[in-house]
Amino acid sequence: MNQQTQVSVEKEKIDFKAFSMHILKSYGMLLILIGLVILMSILTPYFVTTNNLLNIVLQMSVIGIVAIGVTFIIITAGIDLSSGSVIALTSVIVASLAHPNSVPLFVAILAALGVGLLTGIVNGSIIAYGNIAPFIVTLGMMTAARGLALLYSGGRPIGGLSEAFRFIGQGNIFGIPVPIIIFTFVGLISWIILNKTKLGKAIYAIGGNEQAAIIAGINVAKVKVIVYGYAGLLSGLAGLILTSRIASGQPTAGTMYELDAIAASVIGGTSLSGGIGTVGGAIIGALIIGVMNNGLDLLNVSSYWQQILKGVIITVAVFIDVKKNKKK
């Protein structure tokens, strides 16, 4: 039998155009990141130092981890506004446990992750089984979690954290800051889940066409609970790292982080209408924000202008996304 694995491409004139469009779509944001790095290097000599570059990644680790989690959610055509508040809740809980003569460190860590996971599962369950819009449910969680954090901490920061705990956010392994190592790990595992597992395919399918996913036998409710749970878990992890870095449990931690995370995800190519997005894209999106913040800081641009610029970039990114995915 004729082994015809060599597929003949349909002879159309759009071949070259399609190829360049493909490159732009897949690597567009990476090219922009590289472009930004080059631009900043030209504008200020302090940018390209190892120290500075590592600093950028370090600063973006927390938001980057949240961005990866929220990317999973946005791919299913959902949204999560509660990440920042979950960071705060995790922060005060883990800070209250991570004292030198208190419970073992790993218990504190598990508690942090557990809190994040639980809030995510609650979100996902109400969304999937209660059939309520993700925007509303996570908005409620955002308010409730923040309230819980304030309640638990009495509105005050919690200090006195053990040295072992502070290593997580402030230590280095072989010269690389621990948060960056964790960030890399999270990126790797998330990439594997999204691209190499049944669950990952189901996530894309639900975002691509939820009704078709149901008909294809996918347990949509279960997948949604898992997705929101995972995002919650990552928010818990982010809260853990943040608390360790600033060596203090803050009920006000993570304010507005959810928006930064969503911005990073969307800039990285995730589509708010669902079915499109990548872990790599989320990371690149976070780095773009990081490079911009850092570069503009070095150039002494006021942080107010930086905020305006960030808003412009997010709008442009969403505009490009809408244009790209416009259904004929």
What is the per-residue DSSP string for 3-41?
Answer: ---SPPPP--TTHHHHHHHHHHHHHHHHHHHHHHHHHHH
d(CA 265, CA 42): 27
Q: What is the CB-side half-sphere exposure of residue 128 using CA atoms within 13 A?
A: 22
Q: Are 276 and 269 in contact (CB under 8 A)?
A: yes
Distances (CA, A) of 100 to 56, 89, 108, 152, 164: 31, 21, 11, 20, 8
Nearer to other proteins, 251 or 275 (CB): 275
Draw the binding track, 204-223, toward other proteins (x: CB under 8 A; -: no contact).
xx-xxx-xxxxxxxxx----
Q: Which of residues 61-90 bind other proteins (CB under 8 A)?
A: none
Nearer to other proteins, 276 or 296 (CB): 276
Query: In the complex, what is the shortest distance from the CB of residue 9 to other proteins, in angstroms, rounded to a whole number?
Result: 4
Query: In the complex, what is the shortest distance from the CB of residue 328 to other proteins, in angstroms, rounded to a whole number?
Result: 8
Considering only 38, 48, 196, 319, the residue that binds other proteins (CB under 8 A) is 196
Considering only 198, 312, 319, 322, the residue that binds other proteins (CB under 8 A) is 198
Considering only 276, 289, 291, 296, the residue that binds other proteins (CB under 8 A) is 276
Nearer to other proteins, 30 or 214 (CB): 214
Query: In the complex, what is the shortest distance from the CB of residue 95 to other proteins, in angstroms, rounded to a whole number?
Result: 35
Nearer to other proteins, 218 or 267 (CB): 218
Query: In the complex, what is the shortest distance from the CB of residue 15 to other proteins, in angstroms, rounded to a whole number?
Result: 9
Q: Which of 61, 22, 94, 108 is nearest to 250 (CA)?
A: 94
Does 197 contact other proteins by CB under 8 A? yes
Q: Are 83 and 65 in contact (CB under 8 A)?
A: no
Q: Which of 132, 130, 121, 128 is nearest to 82 (CA)?
A: 121
Does 279 contact other proteins by CB under 8 A? no
Query: In the complex, what is the shortest distance from the CB of residue 211 to other proteins, in angstroms, rounded to a whole number?
Result: 5
Query: In the complex, what is the shortest distance from the CB of residue 246 to other proteins, in angstroms, rounded to a whole number?
Result: 37
Q: Which two tokens stand for residue 7?
A: 């597929």
Nearer to other proteins, 205 or 292 (CB): 205
What single letter denotes the amino acid at residue 190?
A: S
User: Over the range 231-269, which residues count as b (16 or more CB within 10 Å of their CB) and which as e?
Assistant: bbbbbbbbbbbbbbbbbbbbbebbeebbebbbbbbbbbb
Query: In the complex, what is the shortest distance from the CB of residue 130 to other proteins, in angstroms, rounded to a whole number?
Result: 18
| Residue carrying the six token digits 């590289």 | 34
The sign of the torsion formed by the CA atoms of 28, 34, 35, 40 equals positive
Helical (H) or strand (E) element with 184: helix 178-196
Considering only 125, 201, 252, 272, the residue that binds other proteins (CB under 8 A) is 201
How many residues touch other proteins (CB under 8 A)? 32
Does 28 contact other proteins by CB under 8 A? no
Query: In the complex, what is the shortest distance from the CB of residue 137 to other proteins, in angstroms, rounded to a whole number?
Result: 21
Interface residues with other proteins (CB under 8 A) are 4-5, 7, 9-10, 192, 196-198, 200-202, 204-205, 207-209, 211-219, 271, 274-276, 325, 327
